[in-house]
Amino acid sequence: MNAMHQHLLDASRAARLGAPPPPAPGTHDLAVLRAVRDRRRFERVLAGRPARGGLRAALRRAGLFGAGLLGTGRSVPSHAAPSRTAPAPCRRPAD
């Protein structure tokens, strides 16, 4: 039985009992992931470690990030700052 089958079973049971139906599978996934991330950041702060960049720093120490195996996913060198300028607006020619 997958999650959708279980949801349908729970929804039919709730309808039979007059209770509100349960949320669909995946409805609160992002909220749960955000809560886990925030909790980990909070625990890092309590332990006196930086709240951000822990995974990237660990991968860099292991030689798996940057110029290593995983790379940065960018076509520009890591020391070059990306351009923050917006492209010129496209204007229609006058009729």
Q: What's the rounded Cα separation, in Å, for the pair 43 and 62? A: 23
- Residues 10 and 22: beta-carbon distance below 8 Å: yes
Mark 51-61 as b/e (b = at least 16 C-beta within 10 Å). Answer: eeeeeeeeeee
Q: What's the rounded Cα separation, in Å, for the pair 35 and 10? A: 26
DSSP H stretches of helix in the chain: 3-17, 29-46, 54-61
pTM of the model: 0.45
pLDDT (tens, 9 = 90+) of the chain, 95 residues, equals 898 999 999 999 999 999 999 998 888 999 999 999 999 989 988 998 877 777 777 888 888 776 545 555 555 455 555 556 666 666 776 66
